[in-house]
Structure 1
Amino acid sequence: MTIAIMQPYFLPYIGYMQLMSAVDTFILYDDVSFINRGWINRNRLLINGQEYLFTVPLRDASQNKRINEVHLADDPKWRSKLLKTIEQGYRKAPYYGTVMPLTEKIVNFTTDSIAELVHFSLVELNTFLEIPTRLVASSSIYQNADLKAQDRILDICRQEKATRYINPIGGTDLYDKPSFATAGIDLAFIQAKRVEYAQFNRPEFVPWLSIIDIVMFNDVPTTRAMLTEFDLL
């Protein structure tokens, strides 16, 4: 059993999707502190040939709240505005006809919780890309929010009977392999490779955009192949 644990990110970049596709169970770490100006409710698209940062507006978001306690803004117009932006940016993309209905289903999902919106979006993306990974919200099952940092990660691994834990490469200073080895768990770090593809006729590729950018320009088999373009360290 291989698992990974990450905060929920909305329409994430390819590295996040690679991590999710590389494991059997992916835990959405939704009962930890919200991160202001992070990737929980933001990501980047290609609009008019330029990088564009979109944000899902939130109500009273604060690092003093857990992610699953943060609500979407009351004004529902953000949904139609975001969809209009995506339509304008990608309507001439080769796979717009199949990807836009998926995008509309995700953005229009009825909830006032950013954690629930992200969870739903990742389930839909996994279905679309035929990724069999099981998704679990940490707030729903483990009952160990009193533990901190590595201790909590190890406890989740034990509860899941994991034999391997994969973390993004940025966590190399947060976890140590001997502690995991003592618990009978192999600790690995994933490093995404830069994957390029045609973005209309733009001469210079814009990397690390939302998965929406990738599936607008690539079919499912090509995208699935891109999800294997990483190193495990």
Structure 2
Amino acid sequence: MTLAIMQPYFLPYIGYLQLMNAVDTFVLYDDVAFINRGWINRNKLLINGQEHMFTVPLKDASQNKRINEVHLADDPKWRSKLLKTIEQGYRKAPYYLTVMPLTEKIVNFTTDSIADLIHFSLAELKQYLDLSTQLIKSSSVYNNAELKAQTRILDICRQEKATRYINPIGGIELYDKSVFAEAGIELNFIKSKRVEYPQGNRGTGAHEFVPWLSIIDVLMFNDVTAVKTMLNEYELV
């Protein structure tokens, strides 16, 4: 059984979905410290040919809180504003009529929890792309929040009876293959390949492809079959 563990990210870039697709069980690491100015509640879209950062506003977010303790801001107008931005940026995209209802369903999901919003969004993306990966919130199962770093990751692997653990390439300095091997677990790191696709409406004077945007950009310009091919564009090291 192959496992991955990642902090929950809202409408993340394709590399996140590649990791999710590469494993049998994907654990949303939602009971660890919130990361200010990270990717939990923000990502990038293509608006008028330029990168545009969008942010889901939060209430009293702090690195002293766990992700599942952080609430959405009280002002609900962010939802309509974000949807309006997406509409303006992608209404001429070839798959807008298919992807926009999915986007609206995600953004308008009723909750005041950023962790729950992200869990719902990833479940919807999983269904849309017909992925078989099981999604689990770490806060709901493992009862090991007192453990830290590699020790906790190994404990979750043991509880899930994982034989392989895949981590993003950025963790190559944090995790030791020999330690995992002693526990009977193969450790790999996933390295995303740059995927390009016809990215329309780039705006006047903008001719270069803009990579690593939110999965929304990928979905707006590609059908499900093409996206599923892109999800396999990585190497394991």
> TM-score of the superposition, structure 1-length normalised?
0.99
Give the match for residue 24 of structure 1.
Answer: 24
How far, CA to CA, are the matches of 1:74 and 1:48 in structure 2? 30
Report the residue type matching 1:194 in the other structure.
R
Give the match for residue 215 of structure 1.
Answer: 219
- SS of alignment partner, residue 4 of structure 2: strand
Quote how far apart the aligned CAs of 1:6 are: 0.2
How far, CA to CA, are the matches of 2:38 and 2:146 in structure 1? 24
Give the match for residue 94 of structure 2.
Answer: 94
Quote how far apart the aligned CAs of 1:133 are: 0.3
How far, CA to CA, are the matches of 1:217 and 1:172 in structure 2? 32
How far, CA to CA, are the matches of 1:25 and 1:41 in structure 2? 23
Quote how far apart the aligned CAs of 1:201 are: 5.2
Give the match for residue 183 of structure 1.
Answer: 183
Give the match for residue 206 of structure 1.
Answer: 210
- SS of alignment partner, residue 40 of structure 2: coil
Quote how far apart the aligned CAs of 1:48 are: 1.2
How far, CA to CA, are the matches of 2:110 and 2:3 in structure 1? 29
How far, CA to CA, are the matches of 2:185 and 2:38 in structure 1? 29
Give the match for residue 231 of structure 1.
Answer: 235
How far, CA to CA, are the matches of 1:49 and 1:221 in structure 2? 25
Query: Structure 2 regions of 5+ residues with no counterpart?
Result: none
Query: Structure 2 matches for 1:40-55, cutoff 5 A?
Result: 40-55=40-55
How far, CA to CA, are the matches of 1:168 and 1:86 in structure 2? 28
Query: Structure 1 regions of 5+ residues with no counterpart?
Result: none
Give the match for residue 77 of structure 1.
Answer: 77
- Once the two structures are superposed, residues 178-224 of structure 1 have per-residue CA deviations (whole angstroms, 9 ceiling, x without a partner) of 11000000000000000001111542000000000000000000000
Query: Structure 2 matches for 1:7-156, cutoff 5 A?
Result: 7-156=7-156
How far, CA to CA, are the matches of 2:57 and 2:201 in structure 1? 32
- SS of alignment partner, residue 11 of structure 1: coil
- SS of alignment partner, residue 146 of structure 2: coil
> TM-score of the superposition, structure 2-length normalised?
0.98
- Once the two structures are superposed, residues 118-161 of structure 1 have per-residue CA deviations (whole angstroms, 9 ceiling, x without a partner) of 00000000000011100000000000001000000000000000
Query: Structure 2 matches for 1:157-176, cutoff 5 A?
Result: 157-176=157-176
Report the residue type matching 1:169 in the other structure.
I
Quote how far apart the aligned CAs of 1:33 are: 0.1
- SS of alignment partner, residue 3 of structure 2: strand
Contact 2:92/2:201 (<8 A) preserved: no
How far, CA to CA, are the matches of 2:67 and 2:201 in structure 1? 39
- SS of alignment partner, residue 135 of structure 1: strand
The CA RMSD over aligned residues, in Å, is 0.5
- Once the two structures are superposed, residues 32-78 of structure 1 have per-residue CA deviations (whole angstroms, 9 ceiling, x without a partner) of 00000000000000011110000000000000000000000000000
Report the residue type matching 1:211 in the other structure.
I
Q: Percent identity?
A: 79
Q: What is the count of residue pairs matched by the alignment?
A: 233
Report the residue type matching 2:15 in the other structure.
G
Q: 1:182 to 1:227 in 2, by over 3 A?
A: same
